[in-house]
């Protein structure tokens, strides 16, 4: 077989690579279902069906065979990433809007897989977050904080109709009068705005010594899947390591400068979409930097942006915004930071 450089000992098809990433998401998805209920399954089903429909529709309109493009599994991965990023009991139309925008606008209108400037899943997430901020930041508390969990039929009714068959809302069914529907990062930011110190905020029931309850388990599960991606050589280590190192360094510096107003390292790393972003979102081969040195700069830049947005921004979690801002900088990073070609001297 004649092929051009770079030469690889094992050449993987795009469909195989996408499927490996989807499989690596499974531990995090299982942990998310365990901690946040059956709504995760329903959101995944809605997102996948919508993604395949939108992908096929665009290919038919472009007079192409849709089955050829559906087999690359890129639509499946986009749907899974967006589905695990939104609250599990969000209304069904929220998922449909986000997935449709990701596939049709961000991916296909730019030319399809390999031509999109932005990460499709995160672009769809940001659209939803800006348009429906209350719905997108209303997460149910983790399983260990609740007296009971919704059954799969109750979860289906909440997502499709907004109420169960008995006419109860999500808050009424879960009996969470003592808890808000805010994420740990949102609760921490709100506490600081109320002049509480960090030590006072972490005394709330949603926090323990390992960080935010439920969220720490989910992030550790995504970390496990991400390490599997590195070991299988589906992704390279440069982006996740530089991102986590940058975010950790800035967090530790902030704790030294203002300990009473800073998020702890465990909360920073094990909350929100930190591990999901580090291994599954930032490493998108299309919208990320291409050289190894560029990947280090790209990951460090996103770590800086996430810290800035979480600390001073209006939204509690800044992974999606940071990724899109870094996507804009990728052409400049690739232009100024290149791997030296053998035999060429600058």
**Is the pLDDT score of 155 beyond 70?**
yes
252, HSE (Cβ side, Cα atoms, 13 Å) = 6
Final residue before a domain boundary, out of 136, 158, 181:
181
If phi over 0 gives left and psi between -120 and 50 gives alpha, with beta otherwise, what is residue 112? left
Higher pLDDT, 11 or 295: 295
Residue 205, pLDDT above cutoff 60: yes
Instruction: Determine the structural domain holding residue 281 and report its residue range.
Output: 182-337
Contact indicator for 143, 207 with CB cutoff of 8 Å: no
User: In this structure, are 63 and 77 located in the same domain?
Assistant: yes
> Which of 181, 204, 227 is the last residue in one of the domains?
181
Percent of the chain with pLDDT over 90: 53
344 domain-assigned: no
Answer for the pair 99, 41: CB distance below 8 angstroms, yes or no: no
pLDDT at 193 over 60: yes
User: Which of 125, 159, 181 is the last residue before a domain boundary?
Assistant: 181
Rounded CA separation 246/298 (Å): 11
Is position 74 within any domain? yes
The band of 340, judged by pLDDT with boundaries at 50, 70 and 90, is low
CA-wise closest residue to 43 among 77, 91, 9 = 91
pLDDT in tens, 118-146: 999 999 999 999 999 888 888 888 877 77
**Do both 141 and 68 map to the same domain?**
yes
State the Cα–Cα distance between residues 320 and 326, nearest whole angstrom: 10
**d(Cα 106, Cα 123) in Å, to the nearest integer?**
7
Handedness of CA 34, 38, 43, 45 (dihedral sign): positive
Round to whole Å and give the CA distance between 177 and 27.
31
Does residue 175 surpass a pLDDT of 80? no
Classify residue 345: in a domain, yes or no: no
How far is residue 323's CA from residue 290's CA, in Å, rounded to a whole number? 15
Indicate whether 167 and 295 sit together in one domain. Answer: no
Say if 189 falls within a structural domain. Answer: yes
Judged by DSSP in three states, 90 sits in: coil
Instruction: Confirm whether 99 is domain-assigned.
Output: yes
pLDDT at 113: 85
| pTM assigned to the model | 0.89
The answer to the question of residue 244 being in a domain is yes
Give mean pLDDT, residues 279-297.
Answer: 92
Tell me what the mean pLDDT of segment 295-317 comes to.
92
Q: Examine the domain organization and report whether 109 and 71 are in the same domain.
A: yes
Separation CA 306–CA 173 (nearest Å) = 34
CA-nearest of 154, 20, 27, 179 to 89 is 154
Which of 28-37, 105-114, 324-333 is the least confident region? 105-114
């Amino acid at each position: 077989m004649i092929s051009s450089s770079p030469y690889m000992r094992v050449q993987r098809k795009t469909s195989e690579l996408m499927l490996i990433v989807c499989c690596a998401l499974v531990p995090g998805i299982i942990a998310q279902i365990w901690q946040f209920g059956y709504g995760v399954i329903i959101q995944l089903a809605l997102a996948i069906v919508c993604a395949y429909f939108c992908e096929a529709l665009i290919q038919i309109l472009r007079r192409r065979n849709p089955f050829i493009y559906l087999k690359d599994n890129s639509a499946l991965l986009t749907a899974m990433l967006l589905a695990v990023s939104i609250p599990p009991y969000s209304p069904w139309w929220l998922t449909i809007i986000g997935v449709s925008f990701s596939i049709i606008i961000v991916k296909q209108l730019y030319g399809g897989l390999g031509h999109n400037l932005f990460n499709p899943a995160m672009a769809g997430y940001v659209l939803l977050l800006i348009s429906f901020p209350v719905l997108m930041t209303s997460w149910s508390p983790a399983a260990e904080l609740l007296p009971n969990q919704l059954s799969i039929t109750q979860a289906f009714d909440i997502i499709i109709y907004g109420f169960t068959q008995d006419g109860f809302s999500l808050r009424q069914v879960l009996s969470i009068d003592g808890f808000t529907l805010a994420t740990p990062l949102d609760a921490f930011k709100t506490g600081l705005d109320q002049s509480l110190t960090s030590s006072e905020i972490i005394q709330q029931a949603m926090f323990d010594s390992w960080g935010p309850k439920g969220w720490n388990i989910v992030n550790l599960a995504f970390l496990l899947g991400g390490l599997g991606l590195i070991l299988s050589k589906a992704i390279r280590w440069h982006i996740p390591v530089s991102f986590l190192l940058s975010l950790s360094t800035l967090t530790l510096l902030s704790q030294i400068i203002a300990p009473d107003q800073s998020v702890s390292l465990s909360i920073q790393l094990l909350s929100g979409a930190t591990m999901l972003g580090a291994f599954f979102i930032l490493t998108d081969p299309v919208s990320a930097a291409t050289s190894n040195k560029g990947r280090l700069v790209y990951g460090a830049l996103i770590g800086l942006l996430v810290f800035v947005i979480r600390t001073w921004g209006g939204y509690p979690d800044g992974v999606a915004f940071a990724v899109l801002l870094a996507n804009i900088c990728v052409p400049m990073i690739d232009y100024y930071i290149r791997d030296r070609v053998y035999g060429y001297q600058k």
